[in-house]
Amino acid sequence: MAKLNIVLYEPEIPSNTGNIGRTCVATGTRLHLIEPLGFRLNEKAIKRAGMDYWSDLDVTTYVNYEEFLEKNPGAKIYMATTKSRQTYTEVSYEPDCYIMFGKESAGIPEEILVNHPDTCVRIPMIGETRSLNLSNSVAIVLYEALRQNNFDHMKLEGDLHRLHWD
């Protein structure tokens, strides 16, 4: 069964992290938070954005990037960055891979990116747009990884009932 992982490197905006947490719950994805965080995890803004799903979230917090690497040895990590030469659709996401996103104001530090050039991915944009909103970016890349893994363990059909007019 696919068990993808989203990693947020020093996230700054609580509502983004709350939205991402909700997306992780809806997709059965683990969330990893690398400190320092720009907020406290008990802030109302996180709970408001994550709604009542936050208690169902599989989330782990790390003191720094080094602790994250130490506790996840051998992890295949894709890094979302505007500096990548390949798009997020040009790689094959393994069922247990990690997809990392940087903080809203600065992204993933270049000293980390240079060690992972083959697993850096970008979302195409027009012109000099700096970046998309963090929670939107996570949803875009995560759902591509889920699609590539055939939406393993996810509900694929809805239950639409037609209205009948007499």
Q: Which residues are annotated as a binding site for S-adenosyl-L-methionine?
A: 102, 123, 131
- For the annotated binding site, the residues are 102, 123, 131
Closest CA to 143 of 4, 8, 33: 4
CA distances from 161 to 38, 104, 158, 164, 165 (A): 44, 41, 10, 9, 13
Instruction: Tell me the C-alpha distance between 144 and 88, whole Å.
Output: 8
